[in-house]
Structure 1
Amino acid sequence: MMRVPLRPLARVIAARSQGLDPDLAEAERRAAVLRNRRSEERRRAEWRLWLLCAVFVMGFSAVGGKMALIAATDPEEPVREIAGDPIRAHRADIVDRNGVLLATNMVTNAIYVETRQMVDKAGVAQGLAAIFPDLSAETLLEKFERPGNFHWIRSEISPEQQQAVFDLGQPGVYFGPRETRVYPQGQRAGHILGGSRYEREGARAAELEGVAGIEYQYDERLGDPAQVNTPLQLSIDMRVQNAVRDVLDAQMENFTAIGAAAIVMDAQNGEVVAMVSLPDFDPNDRPAPRGPQGDLLFSRASQGVYELGSTFKAFAAANAMERGVAGPGTIIDTRGPLTWGRFRIRDFHNYGPELTLTEVMVKSSNIGSARIALETGTLAQQDFLRELGFFDASPVELPEARSARPLLPPRWSELSTMTISYGHGLAATPLHLASAYASIVNGGLRVRPTLLAGAPAPTEEDRVVSRETSQALNQMLRAVVSRGTASYADIEGYQVGGKTGTADKPVAGGYADDKVIATFAGMFPASDPRYVVVVSLDEPETFAAGMIRRTAGWTAAPTMGMLVTRIAPILGMRPTPEVIVADQGTTTLARVAQ
């Protein structure tokens, strides 16, 4: 049975003494206790509600305040400062001196798979192989069966390919957005720009990295988030670059040459306005260095180290004039052959027993140049060529050029002094030759080649020859074109000056009898040189005047003439009449090709 709790005896006695019902008194007491308990619970509930309201008010206030702060501040590109996030998804553009686009980015997609999400691996493999003919279904299926969930398929796909993959409707196939590098000018600036590739790739982004040329040299600058919206401006003028390439390509075919190079340089500050090397490549589809087309990556203009022939006679003449050894009218002994031990130095033709220094240049006498060099001295020759940059790699902003150091004789004997004076025994790049010519024809101030726009002009601290020596040399180089070995480079109204150079190609055990490097180095206008041009043809030949001709006078010189005809109007230069000054009593202008 159930026990009923006993009521407190004291309360029962007290109630009866007052004439009250003990049960009613107990009920009233319990009701009071219950009211007190409910009041306390209500108070606690109200306190909790107020606390919850306060929390909601503070939360919404914080969110609203942040939104107001964001709305009131200027928009900025977010920059990740976390060291663990190395992927830089954007890269700055590259433009020429006129703002023409040379390299930019295009939004594209990569394609990858996650095998755990696949339902039909064989179906995915067959579908992808049908879209991408270079992939096989068997190879793809083998890849899908390998350990791991994530596998790359292609780093870049076209919009059409993306749509075709999407239409497969297969789960587990995903697209990774990224930017790819595009070169609108194609192969016309390939050796300058170099190219790029994906270095680090993630599912949502990929980092482009330069592999050669300007892209490699300025990789950090181009990938810097703070400068990604500022294009890198080069000194190249694509109008001139295109004209030079067209002429060089046509002449290379005309003379059946295996290669060619040309450089157009601002004589006042060393800016490279155009630089072409043929054959070339398209950086949009850069060939593998070790592949069958790897030779296309070689730049004959900045990497090719060649003996440059009689173009070096200008340096021998300038050095002699600067040191007071000879002047333009100084008589030089040209009786030959000139012997040194068992070696014999001969001229292309017999020019008689003596010539003036100017005639040595005009007729391109090896004997005369060698005797001038001996008179000037070996140390003076070395110092002069060192000042012009022939002892070091070119400082141009191309990583490939750093390995193209000139080849100097291991023992610089008197014979070396003589042969180097007419361009044999020392090999350098056409870019070395262009910057050296600019330095001696621009008034005598050393310039350094650069591919960046806005290069400063040299100062008096950079002087290598006096202004008087430079002016005298310019007149001599003009005479070489107007009545000497480079007459086919003469273009009326532009006062082209320069020097031809024909060097036999070295082969195992000596030099080839029927293969040459034909070079022309010159400037225009000769009265006040603004641009220096170097043209080089590898193994050219043409049939003219009843025989096969390979010398620069027949090949490189007419190429120079065609170049000036094409690029001078582009550069804003108008033809002007030339005032002919008598030289050594001779005013006759004759066309001679040697």
Structure 2
Amino acid sequence: MSFLSRIMVLKSRAHFSAGGYNRPSAAFGDGNFQGAMKQRGRQARNRLALVITGFTVIYAIIGGRLVQYGFDSPETVSSIMPADRLMASRPDILDRNGEILATDIRTVSLYAEPHKIVDADEAVEALATVLPDLDVRGTYKKLSSSSRFQWLRRQLTPKQQSQILALGIPGIGFRPEKRRFYPGGPTASHIVGHVNVDNRGIAGMERYIDNQGLADLAAVGMTSDQNLEPVRLSIDLRVQSIVREVLAEGIKKYEAIGAGAVVLDANTGEVLAMASMPDYDPNTPAEGAEEGWLNRMSNGTFEMGSTFKTFTTAMALDSGKVTLKDSFDARYPIRIGGFTIKDFHGKHRILTVPEIFQYSSNIGTAKMADIVGIEGHKEFLTRLGLLTRMQTELPEVKTPSQPHEWKKINSITISYGHGVSTTPLQTAVAGAALVNGGHYIPPTFLPRTREQANEIATTVVKQSTVNDIRYLLGWNATHGSGKRSLVPGFDVGGKTGTANKVVNGRYSNSLNFNAFLSAFPIDNPQYVVLTFIDAPKTGEGGGRTSGSNAAPMVGEIIRRSAAILGVKPKFGADGSALLMSY
């Protein structure tokens, strides 16, 4: 046995001989020892229960908060809507043949969380490399603010998004949105209208759709990103394109400041095409501010000049006090209330009713209005809807202006188109009532059948009056001022209107507002076409009256669109000759 082993054995014997581990010392009994052990066990269990209770309370609090967050609405600020509303769809807008006029496309918008921006200066400089037109000062102010969200640029292109992502700027992100796209650009801008940056309609039929309940649904979050049923309009995109092209060519050719036109179904009130120029591109509406936004056809009022002689003549004939065989003395001017009423190209003789219409005699027309009387005159124009606000879907409709008190001088001047300002669209609608069988039908930009039109139509003149007006319009086109509107095979009838523009409260002798009211085929009109041209400097043959510019524009619209509208041409004395030899 080694020395170390012996030492360990001796120590062990000494320890046991002293009673170190054989029994407990006298100070502790068996009962006391067991009691201490039990107390320690209870303390351990209490501590374990306390820990379990603590974890249970903590997890209960976390779970409760999660439930609370689940029921709470998403946090919003003034500059951002909830994500589901940003992605909410608008219905497509289609023309009568299913061509898309407006649709939604997916896009993204750039935003920042300023509290996560490390260096605002550096972030602005980096963004400016992708967005050269960025408002540097305004963007820096946003990025250095204490807010938690700021829009930086709405509706980016995919290329811009990719380039900004490559910059790797912390605190910069993208949110998906819907952007309204108009494939035709400005072709039907005043009819379709446009939306704002939040995809809410603010003009035209876009606004009409919102007013029908879409905006209210969006406000309470009941819209979604699901496709909605398309809205079909009465517009024929092919005819609409022709009308706009003719107006653009007319402004350039006749050196005018504006123009407008409408093609109206005489029997249903449907607007097949309507344009007003200058116009704008609804994809970039801000660029068309001021002049381009004004829809002169429905939201501009003008003195329509001698086109009103159509209504005055119809009024006199419908009253039964005047017939086509009657004559009126147009040899001398009318002097009343310090004014002198005379003819532009006076014949200085007694004129029959057809001659008064053909030569556009102010004197003869005024005398016919005088026979009917002031109250009858006012009532007739009201019956045709020319003195009240027009009812249609388009929100942009202006109320006509008229004298507060009608006196004899007012009735006389209004008879030939001065003293009352109304919209060109209203004039076309009233003209349709005089040729479609005597029925006033409110205009619509939505499809409408003949049966539906008959249900809301109001009879305003007799059938005999309709027949007389058709004859007069046809006669004036072939023998009077409307010759340049004629299109072979389509029997156009119409009435010119040349009014002096009001400048600074006075009539100008050098500026005209020219209009031409027409219908075709005039023996049984299917369509009414009205054009106007504002302040033309020239016209066909060097003149600047309606017959030399507004009338040729009507002829060009009919020539190019009649076949599209389904009107068959007729040639020969009886209309049976369909082929011509050369």
Q: What is the TM-score normalised by the length of structure 1? A: 0.79
Q: Deviations over 1:423-467 (max 9, x none)?
A: 111111101101100111101001111111125213596100112
**Equivalent of residue 555 in structure 1, options 549, 555, 567:** 549
1:149 positional shift: 2.4
Following superposition of structure 1 onto structure 2, how do residues 33-182 of structure 1 map, counting pairs within 5 Å? 87=85, 89-137=88-136, 139-182=138-181
Query: What SS class does the counterpart of residue 518 from structure 1 fall into?
Result: strand
**Equivalent of residue 430 in structure 2, options 431, 436, 444:** 436
Q: Is 1:190 paired with 2:189?
A: yes
Counterpart contact for 1:336–1:345, Cα < 8 Å: no
Q: Is 1:275 paired with 2:262?
A: no
Q: Give, as a single letter, the amino acid of the residue that structure 1 aligns with 2:482.
A: A
Structure 2: which 5+ residue stretches go unaligned? Answer: 1-24, 33-71, 77-81, 218-222, 576-582
Counterpart contact for 1:314–1:473, Cα < 8 Å: yes
What is the alpha-carbon distance in structure 1 between the residues aligned to residue 282 and residue 119 of structure 2? 38
Counterpart contact for 2:346–2:361, Cα < 8 Å: no
CA 121–288 in structure 1, closer or farther in 2 if over 3 Å, else same: same
What is the alpha-carbon distance in structure 1 between the residues aligned to residue 539 and residue 268 of structure 2? 39
Following superposition of structure 1 onto structure 2, how do residues 392-407 of structure 1 map, counting pairs within 5 Å? 392-401=388-397, 404-407=398-401
CA 323–156 in structure 1, closer or farther in 2 if over 3 Å, else same: same
Aligned position for 1:216: 207
Aligned position for 2:350: 354
Counterpart contact for 2:182–2:283, Cα < 8 Å: yes
What is the alpha-carbon distance in structure 2 between the residues aligned to residue 172 and residue 400 of structure 1? 43
What is the alpha-carbon distance in structure 1 between the residues aligned to residue 356 and residue 552 of structure 2? 21
What is the alpha-carbon distance in structure 2 between the residues aligned to residue 321 and residue 169 of structure 1? 79
Q: Please list every run of at least 4 consecutive aligned residues from structure 1 whose deviation after the TM superposition is greater than 4 angstroms.
A: 80-86, 136-139, 220-224, 578-581
What is the alpha-carbon distance in structure 2 between the residues aligned to residue 556 and residue 534 of structure 1? 9
CA 235–82 in structure 1, closer or farther in 2 if over 3 Å, else same: farther
Aligned position for 1:447: 441
What is the alpha-carbon distance in structure 2 between the residues aligned to residue 438 and residue 464 of structure 1? 11
What is the alpha-carbon distance in structure 1 between the residues aligned to residue 366 and residue 31 of structure 2? 138
Q: Give, as a single letter, the amino acid of the residue that structure 1 aligns with 2:141.
A: E
What is the alpha-carbon distance in structure 1 between the residues aligned to residue 161 and residue 544 of structure 2? 54
Query: What SS class does the counterpart of residue 542 from structure 1 fall into?
Result: coil
What is the alpha-carbon distance in structure 1 between the residues aligned to residue 236 and residue 305 of structure 2? 29
1:490 positional shift: 1.1
What is the alpha-carbon distance in structure 2 between the residues aligned to residue 469 and residue 394 of structure 1? 24
CA 537–334 in structure 1, closer or farther in 2 if over 3 Å, else same: same
Q: Give, as a single letter, the amino acid of the residue that structure 2 aligns with 1:440.
A: L
Q: Is 1:417 paired with 2:411?
A: yes
What is the alpha-carbon distance in structure 2 between the residues aligned to residue 396 and residue 81 of structure 1? 39
What is the alpha-carbon distance in structure 2 between the residues aligned to residue 515 and residue 136 of structure 1? 43
CA 142–383 in structure 1, closer or farther in 2 if over 3 Å, else same: closer
Q: Deviations over 1:63-102 (max 9, x none)?
A: xxxxxxxxxxxxxxxxx99999783622111111111111
Q: Give, as a single letter, the amino acid of the residue that structure 2 aligns with 1:150.
A: F
Following superposition of structure 1 onto structure 2, how do residues 256-295 of structure 1 map, counting pairs within 5 Å? 256-287=255-286, 293-295=289-291
1:541 positional shift: 2.7
1:288 positional shift: 7.1
1:396 positional shift: 2.1
CA 327–137 in structure 1, closer or farther in 2 if over 3 Å, else same: closer
Counterpart contact for 2:254–2:539, Cα < 8 Å: no
1:502 positional shift: 0.3
CA 512–384 in structure 1, closer or farther in 2 if over 3 Å, else same: same
Structure 1: which 5+ residue stretches go unaligned? Answer: 7-79, 200-207, 582-594
Following superposition of structure 1 onto structure 2, how do residues 327-346 of structure 1 map, counting pairs within 5 Å? 327-346=323-342
Aligned position for 2:476: 480
- Structural RMSD (CA): 2.4
Q: Deviations over 1:514-562 (max 9, x none)?
A: 00000000110001111101100001132665xx522101111111111
What is the alpha-carbon distance in structure 2 between the residues aligned to residue 105 and residue 228 of structure 1? 9
1:5 positional shift: 5.3
Following superposition of structure 1 onto structure 2, how do residues 577-588 of structure 1 map, counting pairs within 5 Å? 577=571, 579=573
Q: Give, as a single letter, the amino acid of the residue that structure 2 aligns with 1:211.
A: I
1:577 positional shift: 2.6
Aligned position for 1:4: 30
Q: What is the TM-score normalised by the length of structure 2? A: 0.80
Moved more, 187-196 or 87-96: 87-96
Query: What SS class does the counterpart of residue 440 from structure 1 fall into?
Result: helix
Q: Deviations over 1:262-290 (max 9, x none)?
A: 0111101111111100110011111278x
